[in-house]
Amino acid sequence: MASIQRLLTISPAERRVLALLLSGFNNRSIASQLRLSPRTVESHMSAMFEKVGCSSRTELLLWALRHSECSMG
């Protein structure tokens, strides 16, 4: 239940970043595809780390993979 509540706090912009992260893109590529600055992507990543209790990209990826059926659709 707590994971679903955390998932619901992820903004639509953060979800777009997360989807591209799951597809294997780095921050610069994510920024380019979403027409954002790399710093904005970093900010979205940091916000997601805090929201889901992760401290790295790898942890966030693992969290997202565990919750992909909820987080991506």
pLDDT tens sequence across 16-66: 999 999 999 999 999 999 999 999 999 999 999 999 999 999 999 999 988
Which residues have a Cβ under 8 Å from the Cβ of 31 and sit 6 or more positions away?
37, 38, 40, 41
Q: pTM for this one?
A: 0.81
The answer as to whether 25 is a domain residue is: yes
Q: Does a structural domain hold residue 1?
A: no
Does residue 2 form part of some domain? no
Work out how many domains the chain is built from and give that number: 1
Specify the pLDDT at position 21: 95
**What's the number of CA atoms in the CB half-sphere (13 Å) around residue 23?**
12
CA-based nearest residue to 72, from 56, 61, 49:
61
CATH number, domain with residue 53: 1.10.10.10
CA dihedral 18, 54, 70, 2 (to 10 degrees): -150
